Amino acid sequence: MAETWDQMVARRNAEPGAPEAYEAAKLAYELGAQVRKQREKRGWSQQDLATAARMRQPQVARFEAGGTIPKVDTLQRLLTALGGRITVTFPPAPRPSVARGPSGRKKVVAAVELQQPRRRRQQAALD
Does the structure show a pLDDT above 80 at 4? yes
User: Smallest Cα–Cα separation from 61: which of 32, 38, 85, 31?
Assistant: 32
Find out whether 69 and 104 touch, Cβ atoms under 8 Å. Answer: no
Burial label, 30 (beta-carbon count in 10 A; 0-12, 13-18, 19+): middle
Give residue limits of the domains in the chain. Answer: 16-126
- Tell me which of 120 and 84 has the higher pLDDT: 84
User: Smallest Cα–Cα separation from 55: which of 33, 73, 69?
Assistant: 73
What is the amino acid identity at position 107? K
User: How far is Cα 25 from Cα 125, in angstroms, rounded to an integer?
Assistant: 12
DSSP element (H, E) containing 34: helix 18-41
> What is 16-126's CATH superfamily?
lambda repressor-like DNA-binding domains (1.10.260.40)
Please give the mean pLDDT across all residues of the chain: 79
Instruction: Give the tens place of pLDDT for each residue, 56-107.
Output: 999 999 999 998 888 889 999 999 999 998 888 887 766 544 445 556 665 5
Instruction: Give the tens place of pLDDT for each residue, 19-60.
Output: 888 888 888 999 999 999 999 999 999 999 999 999 999 999
Does the structure show a pLDDT above 60 at 112? no
Does the structure show a pLDDT above 60 at 17? yes
